[in-house]
Amino acid sequence: MKNNTLISVVGPTAIGKTSTGIALANHYQTEIISADSRQFYKEMKIGTAVPSTEELFAAKHHFIQHISVKDDYSVGDFETEAIHKLDELFHHKNKALMVGGSGLYVKAVLKGLDKFPEVDASIRENLNLQLENEGIEPLQFQLKKLDPVYAQKVDLENSHRVIRALEICIASRKPFSSFLNNSSSERNFTPIKIGLTAPRELIYDRIEKRVDLMIANGLLDEAKKVYPMRKLNALNTVGYKELFQYFDDNWTLDFAVSEIKKNTRRFAKRQLTWFRKDEEINWFSYDTPIEKIVNFIDSKISPR
């Protein structure tokens, strides 16, 4: 079983994971599991930089635009479905690719999820009601009080993450962070982790150009279509939430676009921070010839 190899390609947004993943999938004649949680949704194509029609044709991808923003879909659901799909792939191939920058989703597939206690639904309902009535600040303050360790790590602007941590703290009377890193799921593959990186200034420049291209390609119209559903958690996403502020006449369009760029830069920084903590990731410059990465992977699969 361990003869199966899952090649995981990670890195910050706009670094070139898609093209590298396709090149590796073609070399090894296999398929790609997408681990970009923003690209799961059918309604969010332009703003999440979904691979183009040509790219999707070049290599078979799974978990791209397979659900709706209206669907209740968790990282646990993704773990279950991705492992099932990998089991199918490994019946016919001994290598598969996983490509994406959503660190928790990558971790879920490679190692399994942390085990949390059951939470009474009323706790989440009350927290969501508090969010709606009072905004996120009181919830941020409460999390800092109940779990200062996790409050230092989490994106405190992500209401979904804040509420998830708080409900565990309240239900268990223990810090959310005390339940982290306690998973050890058996897997029928050996992972090889490839990270793509570049100087920060270059990453930021690529982000700026990508956002400009998204606007040129119709992100404004795409955001208008999902605007009526803006309270859904899936749409609390960089590229959409800023344009919703523009639609609400709170911001100018130029300012909204500048905020998309700023928040995407912050997102890339958080991605790098997450992945840099994983000592098993083998880092390559974004412009490394694919042959060099292939040679490295082959040396790990069949050490000389």
Annotated binding-site members: 11-18
Binding-site residue set for substrate: 13-18
- Classified as helix, coil or strand, 284 is strand
Structure tokens at 217: 């390609």
Q: How many CB atoms lie within 10 A of CB 89?
A: 22
Instruction: Cite the DSSP H helix spans in the chain.
Output: 17-28, 53-58, 75-92, 103-111, 121-134, 137-146, 148-153, 159-172, 200-216, 219-226, 241-247, 253-276, 290-301
Name the DSSP class of 110.
H
Strand boundaries in the chain, DSSP class E? 5-10, 32-34, 61-62, 95-99, 190-197, 281-285
Q: What residues contact residue 4 under an 8 Å CB cut-off, 6+ apart?
A: 90, 94, 95, 96, 188, 189, 190
CB 181 within 8 A of CB 111: no
Q: What one-character-per-residue DSSP string does 146-160 give?
A: H-HHHHHHS-TT-HH
Binding-site residue set for ATP: 11-18
- Alpha-carbon torsion angle 153, 133, 130, 156, nearest 10: 0
Q: Is 42 exposed, middle or buried (0-12, 13-18, 19+ CB in 10 A)?
A: middle
Structure tokens at 301: 């699969």
CB 85 within 8 A of CB 12: no
Look at residues 132, 126, 128, 162 and name the one whose alpha carbon lies nearest to residue 147: 162
